[in-house]
């Protein structure tokens, strides 16, 4: 919407100027065509989102298109998403594990910035460790090597609180600390951070990364993460009036509303190169809460809502992660500041889901 509004405003001013000039008014149509073509060719660098149909990818695609124009953002995934999503702008079927497919789409659209969002999350990765390692690591190597070859200018790659483990200080976990992840997902993200820093230091690759906390959004259903109870609970509160939580009531985890996460992602990519002083991955924090606390917030909107607790294998994963995160480096280096708290997130989630459930 922002992009379209800015283009319309610029066009209106251009037409007014043309009409005030002494040029033949018969040329107005051609003047408008030339102006719009020129403006759209000036649009932001071409962006490719790999894994665009996922929880973050769908929101990121929408936001980047509203900022830079629909045709500046190429969405891609290993299979087609919903017809609505696929028809909302340029879409390509790309397997993140196929180097040639990734290289071809980059050359076809003259891509400059790549957001690599394809990955298996913590719970799913425990069920399929070999594929999780393959996907999470080799998709990263493909884009790092394309950047090293000069075919990509800038990369965003998501890390996670999963890089921390049971020996990491749990409260206000610092940027630099003991990191002994005990999950396949966490091991892949810690390894990925090391490779991002290596490719930057040795080959000058401009890769930027954020350690996402648990992310909560209304636009896509839960996707195999341990923190996804905090997404599912809203769906079930509206559809069933109750929720059986797979974590115990006092399991405090770092979380963030998707609006904040998207803003942080675009903010780190738009920051001047010299401001990005950490090339492994930045800690990022929003809100920390327990299942008991989010249930209490939901009950303010749905008084009859009830929750029960039946911890499963994901409890051990959650217990290995921090309760809260210190993100002072992100705040200092590129001006990060979260906006949503548990109250405003719950209100926004229930409002949007009520429209769609």
Active-site residue, from 109, 115, 185, 199 = 185
Rounded to 10 degrees, the C-alpha dihedral 189/192/198/203 comes to -140
User: In this chain, which of 222, 225, 291, 322 binds ligand AKB, going by CB under 6 A?
Assistant: 225
Least Cβ distance, residue 120 to ligand AKB (angstroms): 9
Which CB contacts under 8 angstroms, 24+ apart, belong to 97-105? 97/134, 97/135, 97/138, 97/139, 97/142, 99/142, 99/145, 102/50, 102/142, 102/143, 102/146, 103/146, 103/151, 105/48, 105/74, 105/76
Number of residue whose CB is nearest ligand AKB: 225
User: Taking the CA of residue 149 as centre, how many other CA atoms within 13 Å lie in the half-sphere pointing to its CB?
Assistant: 11
Nearer to ligand AKB, 94 or 161 (CB): 161
**Total of chain residues touching ligand AKB, rule CB under 6 A:** 12
Instruction: Compute the distance between CA of residue 357 and CA of residue 353 in angstroms, rounded to an integer.
Output: 6
User: Taking CB under 6 A as the criterion, which residues in 205-224 touch ligand AKB?
Assistant: 212, 214-215
Is residue 226 part of the contact set for ligand AKB (CB under 6 A)?
A: yes
User: Taking the CA of residue 95 as centre, how many other CA atoms within 13 Å lie in the half-sphere pointing to its CB?
Assistant: 6
Is residue 162 part of the contact set for ligand AKB (CB under 6 A)?
A: yes
In this structure, are residues 335 and 267 in contact, taking their beta carbons and an 8 Å threshold? yes
Least Cβ distance, residue 91 to ligand AKB (angstroms): 25
Nearer to ligand AKB, 90 or 214 (CB): 214
Catalytic (active site) residue 68: no
Least Cβ distance, residue 14 to ligand AKB (angstroms): 46
Is residue 160 part of the contact set for ligand AKB (CB under 6 A)?
A: yes
Q: Which of 88, 37, 40, 82 is nearest to 62 (CA)?
A: 88
> Which 8-state DSSP code applies to residue 227?
G
Least Cβ distance, residue 63 to ligand AKB (angstroms): 19
Nearer to ligand AKB, 210 or 237 (CB): 210
Question: Taking CB under 6 A as the rule, which mask of x and - marks residues 168-197 in contact with ligand AKB?
Answer: -----------------x------------
Nearer to ligand AKB, 61 or 281 (CB): 281
User: In this chain, which of 161, 268, 295, 350 binds ligand AKB, going by CB under 6 A?
Assistant: 161
Hey, is 98 helix, strand or coil? coil
Find the angle CA(14)-CA(18)-CA(19) to the nearest 5 degrees.
Answer: 120
Nearer to ligand AKB, 122 or 220 (CB): 122
Find tokens 């660098």 and name the residue.
45
Find tokens 């109750």 and name the residue.
242
Least Cβ distance, residue 77 to ligand AKB (angstroms): 18
Instruction: Compute the distance between CA of residue 325 and CA of residue 282 in angstroms, rounded to an integer.
Output: 11
- Which residues are near ligand AKB by CB under 6 A? 121-122, 160-162, 185, 212, 214-215, 225-227
Instruction: Give the residue numbers annotated as catalytic, written as ranges.
Output: 185
């Amino acid at each position: 919407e922002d992009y379209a509004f800015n283009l319309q405003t610029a066009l209106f001013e251009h037409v007014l100027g043309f009409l005030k000039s002494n040029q033949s008014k018969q040329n107005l149509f051609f003047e408008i065509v030339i102006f719009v073509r020129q403006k759209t060719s000036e649009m932001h660098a071409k962006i490719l989102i790999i894994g665009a149909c996922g929880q973050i990818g769908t929101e990121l695609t929408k936001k980047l298109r509203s900022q830079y124009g629909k045709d500046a953002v190429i969405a891609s995934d290993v299979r087609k998403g919903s017809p609505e999503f696929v028809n909302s702008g340029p879409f390509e079927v790309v397997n993140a594990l196929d180097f040639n497919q990734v290289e071809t789409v980059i050359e076809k659209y003259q891509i400059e910035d790549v957001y690599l969002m394809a990955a298996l999350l913590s719970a799913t990765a425990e069920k399929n460790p070999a594929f999780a390692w393959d996907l999470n690591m080799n998709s990263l190597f493909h884009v790092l090597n394309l950047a090293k070859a000069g075919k990509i200018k800038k990369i965003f790659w998501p890390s996670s609180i999963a890089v921390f483990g049971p020996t990491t200080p749990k409260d206000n976990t610092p940027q630099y600390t003991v990191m002994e992840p005990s999950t396949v997902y966490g091991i892949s993200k810690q390894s990925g951070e090391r490779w991002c820093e290596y490719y930057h230091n040795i080959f000058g690759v401009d890769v930027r990364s954020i350690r996402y906390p648990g992310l909560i959004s209304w636009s896509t259903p839960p996707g195999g993460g341990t923190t996804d109870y905090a997404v599912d609970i809203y769906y079930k509160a509206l559809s069933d009036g109750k929720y059986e939580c797979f974590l115990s009531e006092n399991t405090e985890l770092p979380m963030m509303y998707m609006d904040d996460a998207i803003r942080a992602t675009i903010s780190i990519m738009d920051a001047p190169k010299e401001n990005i002083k950490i090339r492994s991955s930045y800690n990022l924090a929003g809100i920390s809460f327990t299942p008991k606390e989010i249930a209490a917030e939901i009950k303010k909107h749905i008084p009859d809502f009830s929750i029960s607790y039946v911890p499963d294998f994901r409890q051990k994963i959650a217990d290995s992660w921090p309760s809260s995160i210190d993100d002072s480096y992100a705040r200092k280096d590129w001006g990060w500041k979260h906006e949503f708290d548990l109250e405003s997130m719950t209100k926004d989630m229930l409002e949007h889901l009520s429209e769609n459930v």
